[in-house]
């Protein structure tokens, strides 16, 4: 189901048939370096992740990570959406793109649309973002979106600190 459209992109709910795309995305070098290994080591793992985490989030939270497609041909280029985390007091915006689709403005275009949708259609006044301190491209994107740096947080006691950003609302 399509959630949002921008000039060049369509954001839609993920389905089990997205497993090959998700497998490639979650095992791309940038994803592994900046987001981490999510344990998706086979197509079966990808299907399980889609069903439990993505479809489960749509059902339980009314939002989640959406597949970002190029509108011209329907090619999946990345994911963007909102994630509910028990350690955060508001949903956080997340995004990741396949290496061959980076540096085309898709991150900003999709994330700006998600932020507007979250605030206007979902009534979410506060949106967070978490990012690895070493991920300069994502930090720059969050700043361009107007999120402000709120310092460092740990998602668990033994986790490395990460940067927390938030909308001004």
The residues spanned by each domain of the chain are 2-166
pLDDT in tens, 1-44: 889 999 999 999 999 999 999 999 999 998 888 788 899 999 99
pLDDT in tens, 40-60: 999 999 999 999 999 999 999
- Single pTM value for the model: 0.92
* Residue closest to 54 by CA, chosen among 68, 64, 42: 64
* CATH code of the domain occupying 2-166: 3.40.630.30
Kindly state the average pLDDT of the residues 154-160: 87
Q: Reading across the β-sheet that carries 128-131, which strands appear in turn?
A: 2-5, 9-12, 65-70, 76-83, 92-97, 128-131, 162-166, 148-153
Angstrom distance (rounded) from CA 137 to CA 33: 13
DSSP state of 160: P
């Amino acid at each position: 189901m399509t959630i949002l459209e921008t000039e060049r992109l369509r954001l839609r709910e993920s389905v089990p048939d997205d497993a090959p795309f998700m497998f490639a995305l979650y095992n791309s070098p940038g994803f592994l370096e900046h987001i981490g290994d999510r344990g998706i080591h086979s197509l079966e793992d990808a299907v399980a992740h889609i069903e439990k985490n993505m479809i489960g989030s749509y059902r339980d939270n009314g939002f989640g990570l959406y597949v970002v497609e190029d509108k011209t041909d329907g090619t999946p280029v990345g994911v963007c959406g909102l994630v509910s985390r028990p350690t955060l007091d508001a949903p956080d915006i997340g995004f990741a793109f396949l290496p061959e689709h980076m540096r085309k403005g898709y991150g900003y275009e999709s994330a700006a649309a998600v932020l507007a949708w979250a605030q206007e259609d979902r009534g979410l006044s506060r949106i967070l973002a978490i990012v690895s301190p070493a991920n300069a491209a994502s930090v720059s994107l969050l700043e361009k979106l107007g999120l402000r740096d709120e310092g460092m947080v740990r998602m668990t006691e033994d986790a490395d600190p990460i940067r927390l950003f938030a909308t001004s609302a």
